[in-house]
Structure 1
Amino acid sequence: MGEYTIELIKILIWPVLFIVILLLFRKPISTFIENWKKAEVKVDKSGITIAAETVTETVRNITKASIERAVSVEENERGRYIEEGFKGVSDTITKIQNYFDKIRNRKILWVDDHPEWNINEKSAFETMGIKITWCLTNEESLNKLKNENFDVIISDLFSDEGYPKGFDLLGELKTKKIPLIFYTGRVTQNLKEKAEDKGAYGIVDSPALLTSKVLSAIIGGEM
C-alpha cells in the first residue's frame, strides 16, 4: 500500500466514523444538543440563578473523564459507552437546571485507593457545588461516617488484587441507609445483579452515568 493511499485513508476515516456515530446515536445526540441549548443563565424552581458556566464546566469535566476512560473500553462495548455517555450528560444537564437548589452544598464520601484516577469526575461534582471527601480504605470511610453525615457514597468495587472489597463496605452500611454507587472499570450483567441484590443504589462504569446517578440519589430520583 503506497504512502499516498495511507494518507488518503487517514483523511477519510474520521468523516466516515463521524457519520456512523451520527446514524447510530442520532437520538441520544439530538437529546444532548437540545439540552445543551437550554444551558443558559436561568432561574430554577426555587429562584436560584444558575450560570451557564456551571453547566459548561461540568460537561467539560465529564467529557474529559469519559475520554480518559474510553481507552480501556472493549471494542464490543464502545457503542454502549458512547450512547450512555450522551444520555448521562443530557440527564445531568436537566437535573442541574431543575434541581440546583437540592444539589448544591451536598456531600459525597468517595472511597477509592486511587483518587488520582477520578480527578475530572471530582471536578465535575465540585463545579455543581458538591463537596467531596476522599477515603482510601473501607476502614477509613467507616470511621469518617461515625462523625460526619454524607448524602451519597461512591466506591470502587475491586482492590488492585481483584477482591470485591466494595461489597464488604456495602454490607457494613446496611443500617445507615446512605445510597452507595459503585464506580468500576466495567459493568457486567453478573456484577449488576450482585450489586442490586446486595442493596447498592447503582453500579456504573461511565463518568456521565456516574454524575447522573449521583444526582438522582441526591434529589430522590428513581434507581
Structure 2
Amino acid sequence: MESIAKLITALATLAWPIVFAVLLVKFYAPIKALIETALARKFTIKVAGNELTMEEVSKQQIDALSDLQSKVAELEKRLGGATQEALGTAPASGKRILWVDDDPKNNSFLVASLENRGARVDTALATDEGVAMFRRSHYDVVISDMGRPEGEKAGIDLARAIKQLSPSTPIYIFCGRWAATNLRDEALAAGVTQITASGTTLARFLLT
C-alpha cells in the first residue's frame, strides 16, 4: 500500500508539468499575441471615444506640448511676460460642435479638452455625413480637416455646403501647415472663419 501511495504521489507531481504544457499549447496563440502586443507597445487607451495606441497618445501629447510652448513663448515675447491674462479662456459650456475628419483619433485630446469644458462634440468622417448631421441638428461651431479621401480640398467643400445652410455658423479648418498656408485665401473666401495648423490656436478660437 505504501508503494502505491508513493506512486500516486509521484504521478500527481508529474501531472502539473503535463497540465501546464497542455494549457500552454492550447492557449499559445493568445499568449503569443499578448506578448507581441506588449513588445510592440500596442496597448490602447480610450480618449474621447477613440482607441489610441501608446504611440498615438505619445505623439499627440508631444505635438500639443510643443505647440503650447511655442505659443507661450510668442505671447511672452509680445507682452513681456504678462501671459496669464492672455492665456485665460472662457468655458465652452453648452456649445455644440460638429467635427468632420476622416481620422478622428488625431483630435482625441482636443475633443476631450473641449468636452471637459462643457462642450458637446459630434464627429463625422466625410463631407456628406457632416452635412447630413448639420441638417438634422443645430451646431454652434463646425470644425473640419482639409484633405480627405473624397478630395484634397474637402474642408473647403464642406464650408461652402454649411454656409448655404447657415451663413452665420463659424467654421474652422484644422489641418497641416502646408494647407493652412497655401489654401488659406481660398478657405476664407469660401466662408471659413479661421484656418490653422495649431491645436492651441484652434482651442483659443473655440474657447473665447
Task: Give the TM bin, normalised by the shorter chain.
Answer: 0.5 to 0.7
Identity %: 26
Name the Cα RMSD after superposition: 3.1
CA deviation after TM superposition for structure 1 residue 90, in Å: 6.0
Within a 5 Å distance, the mapping from 1:1-223 to structure 2 comes to 65=60, 67-68=62-63, 82-84=69-71, 93-96=87-90, 100=91, 103-160=92-149, 163-175=152-164, 176=166, 177-187=168-178, 188-216=180-208
Runs of 4+ with >4 A deviation: 85-93
Is the 1:65–1:207 contact (alpha carbons within 8 Å) kept by the matching residues of 2? no
Higher mean C-alpha displacement, 166-175 vs 87-96: 87-96
CA separation of 1:104 and 1:67: change in aligned 2, threshold 3 A: same
CA deviation after TM superposition for structure 1 residue 118, in Å: 1.0
Higher mean C-alpha displacement, 135-144 vs 87-96: 87-96
Is the 2:126–2:148 contact (alpha carbons within 8 Å) kept by the matching residues of 1? no
CA deviation after TM superposition for structure 1 residue 178, in Å: 1.1
C-alpha distance in structure 2 between counterparts of 1:174 and 1:64, whole Å: 34
CA separation of 1:198 and 1:85: change in aligned 2, threshold 3 A: farther
CA separation of 1:160 and 1:84: change in aligned 2, threshold 3 A: farther
Residue 145 of structure 2 aligns to which amino acid in structure 1? D
C-alpha distance in structure 1 between counterparts of 2:203 and 2:133, whole Å: 23
1:44-65 residue CA offsets vs partner (Å, 9 max, x unmatched): xxxxxxxxxxxxxxxxxxx984
Is the 2:126–2:150 contact (alpha carbons within 8 Å) kept by the matching residues of 1? no
CA separation of 1:159 and 1:125: change in aligned 2, threshold 3 A: same
C-alpha distance in structure 1 between counterparts of 2:138 and 2:149, whole Å: 28
C-alpha distance in structure 2 between counterparts of 1:143 and 1:133, whole Å: 12
1:150-172 residue CA offsets vs partner (Å, 9 max, x unmatched): 11001000125861111111111
CA separation of 1:94 and 1:147: change in aligned 2, threshold 3 A: same
Q: How many residues align?
A: 141
C-alpha distance in structure 1 between counterparts of 2:136 and 2:105, whole Å: 25
Partner of 1:52: none
Q: Which structure exhibits the higher relative contact order, with contacts defined as CA atoms closer than 8 Å and separated by 6 or more residues?
A: 1
Q: TM-score, normalised on structure 2?
A: 0.58
Partner of 1:50: none
From the CA coordinates, give the structure whose radius of gyration is larger: 2
